[in-house]
Structure formats: C-alpha cells, structure tokens
Amino acid sequence: MSAKPAARFAPTARPTALRALALAAIAAAAWAPRAVVAANQQAPAAPAGQSSPDPKSIEIPGPIKAEPSEVNFGIVEPGATVSATIKISNPLDQDVTISAAKPSCTCTTVDMVGKVIPARGSIEIPMSMKTAHTPGTKTAVVNMAFKGVTQVMVLKIQAETAYAVRATPNFIDALAPERMTGVFELVSADGTPFTVKSVDGRAPVAADGSPMKPATTHRLRYDFTTPSPLSQKFLAVPPFLIIETDHPKCPVIDMRVRHATTRITPAFGFAEFRANCGAMSSKGSTEFEVEIKQMGKARIASVQSLVPTLQTQLVSQKPDGTSVLVTVRVTDLASQPGPFLLPIRFTGNGKTSDFWLFGTVR
C-alpha cells in the first residue's frame, strides 16, 4: 500500500522522551549561532479511551526538513508491520549528525542516532511500526534532535487496524436494562461471503429468524439476560462479545460490552485491554504482544493463567525506558474446540492486574 500524507491526529507523547530531546537541543545550542527555544513540558499520557497530548507542541522548528513528516497507511490487517522511508534534508553548508531519536512506543523501530546528513544533501531513514492485533488506530511518533542545531523534529507514522469482518456498532451499550438484548450487524469488508459459527459461545440467531447461510452481511441478536457461556465463571455479562466466523481471514472478532459490571480498571497501563489469539489448533500455541505504559524501570515478573485450560509463558520483555513490550505464549491444554474468553494475570512491581484473551480452538 502506498504511503500518503496523514490527516491531523493526536498521538501520545511521554514526558521523559520530551525532556531528553529538549536537553539534547539545549546541548546543541552551546555551539549553535542562535538562542534556544525551550520545549514545552507535557502531561503524562492519557489512559486508553481518552485524548492524548499532541507532541507538535514540543517541536522546535529548525532548518532540517523531513519529507514526508507524517505517513498514514490507512486500513491494514491487525498485527501487520508497516514501513516507511523518510527523506531527511540538510540545507546547511556543514554536515549535521542526528544526536537523538526517541520513539513514542516499543512497537516502533528506528535506526537514526549517529547518522550524518551531508551538507546541502539528504539521507533516507526507514521507520517501521507493528500494529495491534485488535482494531483501532495506532500512531508512532519519533522525536529527533541534531548535534549543533537547535531543533527538535517530530515524525509520525499512523495506521488503522480492522478485521476483515466488521461489526456495527463497534461496541454494545448494555448499561440500561432494555439494552440487555438487541441486534448488531456484521459485514465482510473484502466481499467474501461467510457464516457466523457462534455469538458469545451460543448458536447464532439471525435478527429475522432466518437460517444461517453464507452472506456478506448478517444481522444478529445478542442476549445478556442469561449468564454468558464464555465468561460466567468471572462475569455474568461478558466484557467483550466474542463472535466466531468461518471467514478465512477472520476466525474470531470481539465487541466491547458496556455494562455496570464490565468496567476495566487495570493496575498496569495496558495499551489494550484484550488480545486476540485467533484460531488455535488443539493443544497448539500462539504468541501475542501487549504494550504496558508508564513502567519506567519496572518489569513484569510473571504471567499466570487463571484457568486450567490454558497455559501461559512469559517469553520476553522489550523496554524503552518508559513502556515495556511484553510477549506472552499461550498454549491450549483442554483440547476442546470452540471459542474462549479468559483472563490471565500479570504480576510485577508489587502489583497484579488481569488481562483478557479471546480466540477459538479448531
């Protein structure tokens, strides 16, 4: 997919990264011919679901230019890695060295520090970002500073992840008693006909009562007036409605359920509140990643399954000084086919917090 300039958006900025880049710019001013403009300090990153501060407010303009400075990849499949090449131009009569390059998240890969931009020349810098395994918009930001130049440059790369089957609405509001039952719609984004295998662990029920057959659109009923077959051991109303399909690119999707009992307030700063394990083979394994924000030097000590049907293993942790990207391996032990929605428990730094996994065993 070709890159194109991004529309305005507000990615997350972290105070530690901004301070480091501001200091780098101030240090450069010691032999720069003009005064330093102080970088504005930002508030901590907002929790998921709230607006985040715009890092452009800490950008210090200067002569070095990026083309493009913002790249939007549009809609991509969950879990995809998107890459872009940014051209950095130096109009000055002397070489300029990149002295700092701070990504906003551990999902972003850059290799810029120490790169030299020749006088009146340019270099190409690759950037890549791994998208989430669940739907949503993700933006990576790289803040750059330069030796001998009082400037902080902000580069952005953005992509929206979406399943091949999309739900309308994208969440279910069950806060009021009369909304404990209702109808939602599923649409094949790529035009592939599909059938629905289950809704919340039960046989699907069409809104008009018709039998299930392959189609590009389905209108289905949900019912939370009886305990959820998938989550009733933990919550009567599921925090996510799990829908299983036979679409070749979308075995299972989720819809957030808003209810008085499904409020999620984790002790850790999970970037997402659940992970999609997709279609797992019987007694097979899969891995997922979750970014945990505002960790500092703390690390996750263990990841524990809360049910005997799944085994979890902490595979790796990738810190960036502020956040930690944690990789977890999940193994099916029950050898029973069908969808699942189960919590696992993260422990570390004297805290514990539960995290939801969903998928299907086939």
Number of domains in the chain: 3
196: containing domain: 163-263
Burial label, 85 (beta-carbon count in 10 A; 0-12, 13-18, 19+): exposed
Q: Which of 140-144, 200-204, 253-257 has the lowest mean pLDDT?
A: 140-144
The number of beta carbons lying within 10 Å of the beta carbon of residue 140 is 27
Please report the pLDDT score of residue 170 as a whole number: 87
What are residue 30's phi and psi, to 5 degrees? -60, -30
CA-CA-CA-CA torsion sign (320, 74, 52, 238): negative
Structural domain contains residue 99: yes
User: Is the pLDDT score of 275 beyond 50?
Assistant: yes
Both 238 and 302 in a single domain? no
Domain-ending residue, one of 161, 182, 203: 161
Structural domain contains residue 317: yes
Residue 142: both structure tokens together: 């790289």
Please report the pLDDT score of residue 10 as a whole number: 32
Please report the pLDDT score of residue 56 as a whole number: 44
Both 21 and 127 in a single domain? yes
Both 348 and 334 in a single domain? yes
Cα–Cα distance between 188 and 201 in angstroms, integer? 21
Please report the pLDDT score of residue 199 as a whole number: 98
Q: What is the mean pLDDT of residues 317-340?
A: 90
User: Is the pLDDT score of 239 beyond 50?
Assistant: yes
Both 257 and 323 in a single domain? no
Please report the pLDDT score of residue 35 as a whole number: 27
Cα–Cα distance between 188 and 350 in angstroms, integer? 44
Domain-ending residue, one of 210, 230, 263: 263
Residue 17: both structure tokens together: 């990264």
What percent of the chain has pLDDT above 90?
64
Helix (H, G, I), strand (E, B) or coil at 114: coil
Say which residue the tokens 């006909």 belong to: 193
User: Is the pLDDT score of 16 beyond 70?
Assistant: no
For the ranges 107-111, 290-294, 352-356, the maximum mean pLDDT occurs at: 352-356
CATH of the domain at 297: 2.60.40.10
Structural domain contains residue 7: no
Please report the pLDDT score of residue 26 as a whole number: 39
Label residues 101-131 b or e (16+ Cβ within 10 Å = b). Answer: bbbbbbbbebebeebebeeeebeebebebbb
Both 240 and 319 in a single domain? no
> What's the whole-number average pLDDT of the chain?
84
What are residue 177's phi and psi, to 5 degrees? -55, -35
Q: What is the mean pLDDT of residues 11-21?
A: 41
138-176 pLDDT, tens digit each: 888 899 999 999 999 999 989 988 899 999 998 999 999
Helix (H, G, I), strand (E, B) or coil at 20: helix
31-89 pLDDT, tens digit each: 333 322 222 223 333 333 333 334 444 789 999 999 999 999 988 888 788 998 999 99
217 vs 15, higher pLDDT = 217
Both 230 and 299 in a single domain? no
